[in-house]
Copies of this chain bind each other. A is one copy, B any other.
Amino acid sequence: MVPLLGMVDTIKRIDQNKFVVRTEDRNFLGRVQTPQGFSLSTLRAAHARECSVEATDDSMMVEEMGRPVLTVLGHDLSRKITTSADLEWAEALLARRAP
């Protein structure tokens, strides 16, 4: 199970020469968020396996195994804190919400 947000922008598929191949249907694309939820046995099996591609998230490893991965509606405020700018954003948000 992975949380997914819809696409805000118009998305183009491009080729290696940077020409537009087509405009993608946004209804079938989404931005994945964390945390991602899997049963422990599925997750262990996914991590134990040789992956044919460079996996950028747990979901991708489970997809590679051919297991179904359901998506649920994500949330704009569920943002991963990676950079100091992310932390600043989170602190500003919390400060605004304080009573």
Interface residue ranges, A against B (CB under 8 Å): 2, 4-5, 9-15, 18-24, 28-33, 56-57, 59-60, 63, 68-72
Given A11-B30, A14-B30, A19-B70, 12 other A-B contacts at CB below 8 A?
Answer: A4-B18, A10-B60, A12-B59, A14-B28, A15-B28, A18-B72, A20-B59, A20-B63, A23-B56, A23-B59, A23-B60, A23-B63
**In the assembly, how many copies of this chain are there?**
2
Q: Are B20 and A69 in contact (CB under 8 A)?
A: yes
Contacts of A57 in B (CB 8 A): 10, 23
Q: Are B32 and A11 in contact (CB under 8 A)?
A: yes
Q: Are B59 and A18 in contact (CB under 8 A)?
A: no
